[in-house]
Structure 1
Amino acid sequence: MSALANPRFRRLLVGQSLSTFGDSALYLSLGIWAKDLTGENAAAGMVFLCLSLPVVLTPFAGHIVDRLRRKPLLIAVNLVAGLGVLALLRVRSEADLWIIYAVALGYGLSFILIRPAQVGLVKQILSGEELAGANAAIRTVGEGIRLFSPLVGAAVYTAVGGHTLAVLDALTFAVAVVILLTLRVEEGAPTPPQEREPFRREIMAGFRQIASTPLVAFTTVAVAASFAVIGLLDTVDFAVIEYGLQRPASFFGVLMSVQGAGGICGGLVVATMIRRYGEARSVGAGLLTVALGTALLTTPFLPVVVAGFAMIGCGVPWLVVGYTTAWQRSTPQQILGRVAAAADLATVGPQTLSIALGAALIASVDYRILLAVCCAVLTLSGAVLLRRAPKLVTA
């Protein structure tokens, strides 16, 4: 990971990791907090709905990112988000539940701005050859954080309450702001208003860029098709635990830790894979690895299922980092925010729909049939991508 030799990237990674830790620790606890106030599972569900609703605004977020300098935008968003979290200090009773929802919605809005702005800033700091290592480092650190930060957040919430957790999260935003303030980046001026295209064309520029680049276009189709079934696993995993392994639902945490460990292992080698075999082959290998892991979940044997979760965890960084590096390398800086937004929408959109579909089907369809469908789509996508890989190169 040669990107880690760059002191500016290391500083940015530290700031982003601290912010991610605070976010991950808090957002799960917001759901617990909402349920504690009301006694209703629906209240907790509303928290996660508020977190995900801003996804529909992703193209507009990408447009905003491309019209402003990325570093000042990141400073402003982190500052506003940190101050917004402190609104949780006013939560005392069920009557204040709306504050939790408002903070969750604000979180969702900050996510769709921070992600494309960070992608642009990373490309500004590093050369094209270093991007795979940078994306691998970001993904690997993120997997490590997701292993334990929700547990830390829940423990802090249980021990000292949500108010203290909110203050700690606000501090992580403050640290991220300080690190960004000390980061030296020379950014070019955004496109002047008189040189911009009509608003509708501006909004769609990210999708046009993806469609015009063979590597990115073909990989996007394969990844989008795969995420259209990967979301099924969010529901099916619980059926695997209940009916396959005959374990309590709490065992889900153990399997997520296994998957997270697999994600760290996958993240450590993905940069080397991309350098040797290219983005398309790395994504294809990731899809086939996730497909094999999914197939292993159909068995009732614990060691086999554990291996399946580890393989899924390992394969996801290969497909995510490979895909991200493909569009990041081939995209001009001035439209990178909109391409990042379009790429995110191409994955998050199908995944969200498949989560809803899985929740609707799990009561009437055997979970092994859903796993078979998931495995088939992943295998087909990966195989087709590997076959086309020699003809696809980074622009």
Structure 2
Amino acid sequence: MTTTLPRVLRDRDAALYLTAAVVSGFGTSALWLVSGVWVKDLTGSDGLAALCMLALWAPALAGPLLGTLADRTRRKPLLIGANLLPAALLLTLFTVDSPDRLWLLFAVLFVYGAAGVVHDAAESALVASAVPAPLRGDFNGLRMTATEGMKLLAPPAGAAVYAAYGGASVALLDAVTFVAATGLYAGLRVRESRPEPPQGGWRKRTAEGARHLWTHPRLRPLVLAGGATMLCAGLNGALIYAVIDNLGHAPAYAGVLYGVQGAGSVVIGLLSGAALRRLGERRFAAYGIALAAVAAGLRAVPSDPVALACSAAIGAGLPCVLVAALTAVQRETPDALLGRTAATANTLVFTPNVIGLAAGAALVELFDVRLLSAVLGPVWLLAAVPLLRQRAASPSRTATRSPSDANPA
């Protein structure tokens, strides 16, 4: 498979985007880990520590509404604002030094998550105009690689800063990365026309993104497959410590498995642009789902080499359907709808992950992990069937498209 990675790195706007993703991704990944540890140290409560992730994820449920902002204003200024707002709010965390001030931490995390939803919607829409079409697939593959790479590097770095200087110092580090990313976004050379005045009420405008996804024959199956995949991924993630017990290791072994899984995602990020050009979105998504599903089922085998191979395979398979779905959204959605549609797609795809985590946490208390893994694999595999079946009905639609097909968000 050929790649255009060198051309991506030579493109000025693409290089600025990727650098901003690396910088801000480092700070975000560090804070996500440290916020829970911070709350745990102040209160001793596992439940309150878990609420940090809930505060960050909850705004995603309002994705269709928040995404309308990306269609009502120019995307570049909105992207800059979505970085400056959390940067300013993070500085208030220097006042969090006791349990009775934790409300401020949770409030900042909630706004942080909401700004992230707006940021993602604006970025997805702006990429379509800032990055040349033939480079989008490889660009977004590199962006995924950067994001996953920061998830491997930033948490231990954030933990070290927290241990030495406390949680407020990590918040300051994250604020600095947001400011640095803002400078990079400000350097983008994009020309945006003023959006047309909105038609209808906010409910109608919000629903237009969901209506576009549901009525589009190529977008709907990909988004549904993405949601089903993330539901199964949540179930699979909830089984991780039971899998480790089955292997006979201490809970800290989860770090090894997650590290290998992250490495698999990094590799597929480098290859996704070329794979999309060769396979098209549906086959790329279906093959990734199949790979992750088989690996999840094989986790029933109590073997370290098998467990490590399965983690790498899940890391490589999971991003495929996400990349493919958002690729299609960028290509098949009119610019005036792109912010709302991308945000709605993100909500439909990622919200089931939280449901899967909750369901898996309950099921693992009732059933043996080997049985759950053996059942989960075939169930997960069913998510790939509609994609392959739809391709059989229109065999050459995506395979004959130009390289501009490969533009995952």
TM-score of the aligned structures, taking structure 1 as reference length: 0.95
Tell me whether 366-375 or 28-37 shows the greater mean CA deviation: 366-375
1:232–1:370 contact (8 Å) kept in structure 2: no
Matches of 1:227 and 1:255, distance apart in 2: 18
For 2:251, the aligned partner's letter is A
Asked whether 1:163 is paired with 2:168, we answer yes
Task: Report what 1:211 is aligned to.
Answer: 214
Q: 1:111 aligns with which of 110, 113, 116?
A: 116
Secondary structure of 2:193's match? coil
Matches of 2:163 and 2:97, distance apart in 1: 15
Matches of 1:197 and 1:127, distance apart in 2: 33
Task: Report what 1:257 is aligned to.
Answer: 259
Q: 1:311 aligns with which of 310, 313, 322?
A: 313
Tell me whether 77-86 or 161-170 shows the greater mean CA deviation: 161-170
Secondary structure of 2:218's match? helix
2:238–2:360 contact (8 Å) kept in structure 1: yes
State the Cα distance separating 1:108 from its structure 2 match: 1.1
For 1:41, the aligned partner's letter is D
Matches of 1:5 and 1:206, distance apart in 2: 34
Asked whether 1:232 is paired with 2:216, we answer no
Q: Among the aligned pairs, what percent are the same residue?
A: 36
Can you list the C-alpha shifts for 1:76-97, whole angstroms capped at 9, x where unaligned?
A: 1211110101111111222211
For 1:10, the aligned partner's letter is A
Asked whether 1:121 is paired with 2:126, we answer yes
- Divergent runs of 4+, >4 A: none
Task: Report what 2:366 is aligned to.
Answer: 364
Task: Report what 2:154 is aligned to.
Answer: 149
1:288–1:383 contact (8 Å) kept in structure 2: no
Matches of 1:307 and 1:332, distance apart in 2: 41
Task: Report what 1:65 is aligned to.
Answer: 70
Task: Report what 2:36 is aligned to.
Answer: 31
For 1:207, the aligned partner's letter is A
Secondary structure of 2:291's match? helix
Secondary structure of 2:184's match? helix
Task: Report what 1:336 is aligned to.
Answer: 338
Secondary structure of 1:364's match? coil
Matches of 1:328 and 1:208, distance apart in 2: 16
Map 1:1-395 to 2 at 5 A.
1=5, 2-193=7-198, 196-242=199-245, 244-390=246-392, 391=394, 393=397
State the Cα distance separating 1:134 from its structure 2 match: 1.9
Matches of 2:172 and 2:269, distance apart in 1: 31
Matches of 2:221 and 2:103, distance apart in 1: 43
State the Cα distance separating 1:36 from its structure 2 match: 0.6
State the Cα distance separating 1:98 from its structure 2 match: 1.4
State the Cα distance separating 1:3 from its structure 2 match: 3.3
Matches of 1:353 and 1:255, distance apart in 2: 22
Can you list the C-alpha shifts for 1:82-133, whole angstroms capped at 9, x where unaligned?
A: 0101111111222211121112112111111111111111111123332221
2:60–2:113 contact (8 Å) kept in structure 1: yes
Matches of 2:143 and 2:204, distance apart in 1: 32
Matches of 2:16 and 2:131, distance apart in 1: 13
Secondary structure of 1:211's match? helix
Q: Which runs of 5+ in 1 are unaligned?
A: none
Matches of 2:11 and 2:391, distance apart in 1: 31
Secondary structure of 1:24's match? helix
Matches of 1:218 and 1:105, distance apart in 2: 31
Matches of 1:134 and 1:254, distance apart in 2: 28
1:27–1:104 contact (8 Å) kept in structure 2: no
Matches of 2:264 and 2:176, distance apart in 1: 30
Matches of 1:329 and 1:132, distance apart in 2: 11
How many pairs were matched up? 392
Matches of 1:270 and 1:75, distance apart in 2: 28
Q: What is the RMSD of the two structures over their aligned residues, measured on CA atoms?
A: 1.6
State the Cα distance separating 1:269 from its structure 2 match: 1.2
For 1:353, the aligned partner's letter is I
Can you list the C-alpha shifts for 1:209-260, whole angstroms capped at 9, x where unaligned?
A: 1123222112122222222221101210111001x10111111011100001
2:38–2:167 contact (8 Å) kept in structure 1: yes
Secondary structure of 2:336's match? helix
For 1:346, the aligned partner's letter is L
Can you list the C-alpha shifts for 1:15-47, whole angstroms capped at 9, x where unaligned?
A: 122111101101210110011111111220121
Can you list the C-alpha shifts for 1:43-77, whole angstroms capped at 9, x where unaligned?
A: 20121121111122111111111111111011112
Matches of 1:89 and 1:247, distance apart in 2: 38
State the Cα distance separating 1:189 from its structure 2 match: 1.2
For 1:183, the aligned partner's letter is L
After superposition, the Cα gap between the structure-2 partners of 1:210 and 1:4, relative to the gap in structure 1 and judged at 3 Å, is farther
Matches of 1:377 and 1:337, distance apart in 2: 32
Can you list the C-alpha shifts for 1:125-163, whole angstroms capped at 9, x where unaligned?
A: 123332221221111111111112111111110122112
2:74–2:195 contact (8 Å) kept in structure 1: yes
Matches of 1:29 and 1:347, distance apart in 2: 26
